[in-house]
């Protein structure tokens, strides 16, 4: 089999720890009690934030995305006929004050020893572009679709996947 045709199966067999971003100090991580205004400042430059209990222990609690920022910034109007307090998150109404108020706590994760094929399938199934890499409930890195695309492209630069039929 030509080398280029082996690239796809070989790429799928790689482990997450071979491609993940291990620079934990550079990941967008905040503690759960972080002020929402600081969260918005970070989201001005990043498209997601991992929420942890404590930055030293890095136990992952949730994620905040740009879409979450949109949901709290958009003005909300409610009917006067609503009974009780509606369940909504809004800066306008003061219902979001901390990262914990805004985060999603059901985070899809992966582990460093998983195959890239499994991670890609999980991303596809859940419509995700990034996954935190977890070890003993602690975030040890992340893997993103952009990283996977770049690594795959780099691998195919000198070994094309499709051979010319000349």
Predicted local distance difference test score (pLDDT) of residue 10 = 84
Question: Count of H helices and E strands in the chain?
Answer: 7, 5
Predicted local distance difference test score (pLDDT) of residue 155 = 77
pLDDT digits (tens, 9 = 90+) for 102-129: 999 999 999 999 999 999 999 999 999 9
Predicted local distance difference test score (pLDDT) of residue 162 = 46
CA distance 13 to 118: 9
Residue 75 has pLDDT above 90, yes or no: no
Predicted local distance difference test score (pLDDT) of residue 1 = 45
pTM: 0.82
Residue 48 belongs to what H/E stretch? Answer: strand 48-52
Residue 54 has pLDDT above 60, yes or no: yes
Residue of higher predicted confidence among 50 and 73: 50
pLDDT digits (tens, 9 = 90+) for 96-106: 899 999 999 99
The torsion angles phi and psi of 50, rounded to 5 degrees, stand at -90, 135
Q: Which domains does the chain have, with CATH numbers?
A: 3-78+88-156 (3.10.580.10)
Predicted local distance difference test score (pLDDT) of residue 159 = 62
The whole-angstrom distance between residue 83's C-alpha and the CA centroid of its chain comes to 36
CA distance 4 to 159: 5
Predicted local distance difference test score (pLDDT) of residue 31 = 98
């Amino acid at each position: 089999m030509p080398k280029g045709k082996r690239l796809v199966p070989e790429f799928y067999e790689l482990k997450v720890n071979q491609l993940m971003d291990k620079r934990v100090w550079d990941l967008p991580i905040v503690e759960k009690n972080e002020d929402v205004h600081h969260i918005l400042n970070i989201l001005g430059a990043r498209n997601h934030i991992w929420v942890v209990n404590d930055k030293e222990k890095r136990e992952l609690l949730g994620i905040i995305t740009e879409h979450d920022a949109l949901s709290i910034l958009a003005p909300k109007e409610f009917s006067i006929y609503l009974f009780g307090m509606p369940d909504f998150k809004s800066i306008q109404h003061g219902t979001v004050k901390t990262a914990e108020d805004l985060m999603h706590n059901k985070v899809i994760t992966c582990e460093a020893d998983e195959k890239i094929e499994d991670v890609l399938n999980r991303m596809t199934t859940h419509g995700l572009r990034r996954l935190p890499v977890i070890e003993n409930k602690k975030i040890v890195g992340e893997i993103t679709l952009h990283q996977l695309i770049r690594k795959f492209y780099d691998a195919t630069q000198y070994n094309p996947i499709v051979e010319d039929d000349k």
